[in-house]
Chains A and B, each alone.
Chain A
């Protein structure tokens, strides 16, 4: 498969549970992004990695949200003590720097998280 994959596709959690969402970027892509899309809204930026370095985490809504990409490939977004307001689709995107210019971000299908 050449695209970005995410797992699980659907996750139901009870309020207070911890969840981990996985993203497999396109092979060789250096940059990886996480976005949160609430119902009826556009995706909102959460965090950005270049290889294993987390260069921007300004969009993480609270310290309950944590992302990592330890080997510069697969990334995991972890949400601790989930709350109902965390219910959303979590999208992962990857891109590859071409040197100069702006690189297209390729999105995965997302993980729909529902917190009961």
Chain B
């Protein structure tokens, strides 16, 4: 059973517009959330994270929003650039334990010039 869900397998946006990637989770024991970006034939690269005690974290063009009551987080990329085209994975870490990441299936973002 998927504890972290990314329901959109793909997203296509125009360069300069906003990209919004969504993620839902079912386990209320998750207390830290991360977004990773992955290019073909490379490993995932850390992008941005958020603790469950916050509802927003911003880093340059990237902002992550967390809605704990809805068990939902989203990644906003503004403005989108063609180099942002990649697969984006949402991941969560449960409280305690080994800090293992629980990943969603990913959303493939394509930014068109």
Contacts and interface: CB of A to CB of B under 8 A. Distances in A.
Given A109-B43, A110-B43, A41 B98 contact: no
Contacts of A105: 46, 99, 101
B100 A40 contact: no
B105 A59 contact: no
A56 B106 contact: no
A75 interface: no
Nearest to B90: A42
B43 A107 contact: yes
Nearest to A92: B43
B43 A56 contact: no
A56 to B, nearest CB: 4
A43 interface: yes
Given A4-B43, A105-B46, A110-B43, A42 B100 contact: no
B100 A59 contact: yes
Contacts of B100: 33, 45, 48, 56, 59
B25 interface: no
Contact of A31 (B44, B91, B99, B104): B99
Interface of A: 4, 31, 33, 35, 40-45, 48, 55-56, 59, 91, 93, 95, 102-110
